[in-house]
């Protein structure tokens, strides 16, 4: 027997689980399918925490989406006893001419956000755990902070199921057949049909879309993160902010010590292109896993430079221009695709779930998503650029 739904969501990670929640909450008969059992360690949401910044250095166009996402995260917090968001504040710093830092400052001004522009001396004095050079500067957002990524997904999952959504876990999609007014989705154990389809498979999007004849320039990469043993007097979350740094050695991001786990840091650029099915998940498999981030701490946060408590790997799925893909299929209006979140997408996932709900039920979104068109030149197969995920401002 073939089971029919109004909407099927392929990929129930960050964006897919959020979309499933907003669909089910609004009475849409929804099936979510995932190759694993979310939240899990096989996607881009692992690692416990993510930053949310409102003055987005990635581009002024992202600010309204970040603000909508924050509103939705606050609403989600009211639906659960799990920690969704912690208001730690976020400091962004780098060279005085850093495009990322300047864009964040411009975004704060344009949208009248609570953003302080700070000199190197002001940053060093306010947070003794940071030491930056005189030719550097930054901006501080006291209302930004940390999202607990796996808690967010668990809460979306629970609420979606409570509203009547169904979830098939450990069910890799083997085939998708697209027709003018329906889709067939075949897993390793069953076949389902739907009027509408959302494809949000993270690092597996490229394979899924290639199989559908839609070749886009999407490149998964292996990234690393680590928690360093650190002095909680300097780095504890009740006094030290999350941070984002665009410095000459690279682009880095990190988190204060939460519940004594140590200062967490990752490198935003310099990932290795991978096939998500076949890559080395072991932290420390490559010399740069530790060296990249240790070098940063030794230069800018010396008191956190030392022993690693835990190291992990995760995946980014990168577009050449680092902007997302959120759009309808070029031929099939009832199929919506979301991907290429390039390491900076998680904070928006509440708002993107709402956008996906709007696209499949209303045909358009209340958010401006024109930046994320699937037909833009940088996504097309003839663009064979070898280097993905450049460091912004470099």
pLDDT digits (tens, 9 = 90+) for 351-383: 999 999 999 999 999 999 999 999 999 999 876
Quote the radius of gyration of the chain (alpha carbons, Å): 20
Q: Which residues have a Cβ under 8 Å from the Cβ of 12 and sit 6 or more positions away?
A: 20, 32, 33, 34, 38, 157, 167, 169
State residue 182 phi and psi, 5-degree precision: -160, 160
Contact yes or no for 175/207 (Cβ under 8 A): no
> End-to-end alpha-carbon separation of the chain, Å?
56
Can you point out the beta strands (E) in the chain?
A: 3-10, 30-33, 49-52, 85-86, 90-95, 116-119, 136-141, 145-148, 166-168, 173-178, 183-187, 191-199, 219-228, 242-247, 250-255, 263-267, 272-273, 308-318, 325-328, 335-339
Eight-state DSSP code of residue 56: -
Provide the pLDDT for residue 247.
Answer: 97
Contact yes or no for 145/90 (Cβ under 8 A): yes
Strand partners, 3: 192
The number of C-alpha atoms within 13 Å of 131 and in the hemisphere containing its C-beta is: 10
Kindly list the domain boundaries of the chain, sorted by start residue. 3-44+150-215+321-379, 90-145+220-318
Beta strand 173-178 with 183-187 is: antiparallel
Both structure tokens of 387: 């280097």
Percent of the chain that is helix, strand, coil (3-state, to 5): 30, 30, 40
**Cβ burial, residue 381 (10 Å; 0-12/13-18/19+):** exposed
Helix (H, G, I), strand (E, B) or coil at 325: strand
Provide the pLDDT for residue 383.
Answer: 66
Provide the pLDDT for residue 387.
Answer: 40
pTM over 0.85: yes
The Cα–Cα gap between 389 and 394 comes to 11
Pick the CATH number of 90-145+220-318 from 3.10.20.30, 1.10.1050.10, 3.30.9.10, 1.25.40.10: 3.30.9.10
Both structure tokens of 255: 């988190």
287-334 tens-digit pLDDT: 999 998 999 999 999 999 889 999 999 999 999 999 999 999 999 999
Among candidate residues 302, 259, 267, 293, the one with its CA nearest the CA of residue 88? 259
Task: Provide block-wise average pLDDT over 10 residues at a time, the chain (394 residues).
Answer: 89 97 98 93 76 97 98 98 98 97 98 98 98 98 97 97 98 96 95 98 94 93 94 96 97 96 94 92 93 94 92 93 97 97 96 98 97 95 53 36
Provide the pLDDT for residue 384.
Answer: 56
| The domain defined by 3-44+150-215+321-379 carries CATH number 1.20.1560.10 | no
The Cα–Cα gap between 13 and 24 comes to 16
Contact yes or no for 289/223 (Cβ under 8 A): no
């Amino acid at each position: 027997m073939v089971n029919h739904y109004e909407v099927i969501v392929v990929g129930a990670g960050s964006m897919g689980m959020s979309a499933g929640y907003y669909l089910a909450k609004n009475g849409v008969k929804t099936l979510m399918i995932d190759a694993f059992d979310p939240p899990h360690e096989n996607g881009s949401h692992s690692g416990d925490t993510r930053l949310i910044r409102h003055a987005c250095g990635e581009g002024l166009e992202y600010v309204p989406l970040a603000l909508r996402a924050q509103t939705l995260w606050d609403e989600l917090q009211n639906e659960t006893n799990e920690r969704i968001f912690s208001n730690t504040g976020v400091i962004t710093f780098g060279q005085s001419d850093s495009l990322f830092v300047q864009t964040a400052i411009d975004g704060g001004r344009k949208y009248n956000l609570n953003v302080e522009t700070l000199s190197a001396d002001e940053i060093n004095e306010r947070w003794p755990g940071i030491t930056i050079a005189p030719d550097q500067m930054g901006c501080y957002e006291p209302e930004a902070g940390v999202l607990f990524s796996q808690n967010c997904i668990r809460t979306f999952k629970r609420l979606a199921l409570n509203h009547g959504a169904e979830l098939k876990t450990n069910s890799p999609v083997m085939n998708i057949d697209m027709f003018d007014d329906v889709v067939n989705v075949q897993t390793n154990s069953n076949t389902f049909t739907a009027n509408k389809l959302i494809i949000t498979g993270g690092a597996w999007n490229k394979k899924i879309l290639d199989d559908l004849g839609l070749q886009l320039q999407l490149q998964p990469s292996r990234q690393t993160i680590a928690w360093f043993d650190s002095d909680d007097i300097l780095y504890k979350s009740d006094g030290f902010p999350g941070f984002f740094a665009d410095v000459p050695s690279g682009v880095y991001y990190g988190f204060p010590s939460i519940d004594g786990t140590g200062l967490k840091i990752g490198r935003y650029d310099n990932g290795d292109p991978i096939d998500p099915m076949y890559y080395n998940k072991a932290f420390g498999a490559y010399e740069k896993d530790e060296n990249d981030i240790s070098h940063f701490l030794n230069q800018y946060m010396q008191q956190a430079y030392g022993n690693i408590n835990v190291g992990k790997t995760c995946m980014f799925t990168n577009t050449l221009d680092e902007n997302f893909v959120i759009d309808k299929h070029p031929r099939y209006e009832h199929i919506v695709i979301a991907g290429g979140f390039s390491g900076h997408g998680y904070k928006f996932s509440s708002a993107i779930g709402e956008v996906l709900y709007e696209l499949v039920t209303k045909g358009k979104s209340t958010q401006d998503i024109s930046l994320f068109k699937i037909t833009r030149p940088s996504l097309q197969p003839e663009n064979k650029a070898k280097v993905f995920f450049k460091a912004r401002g470099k």
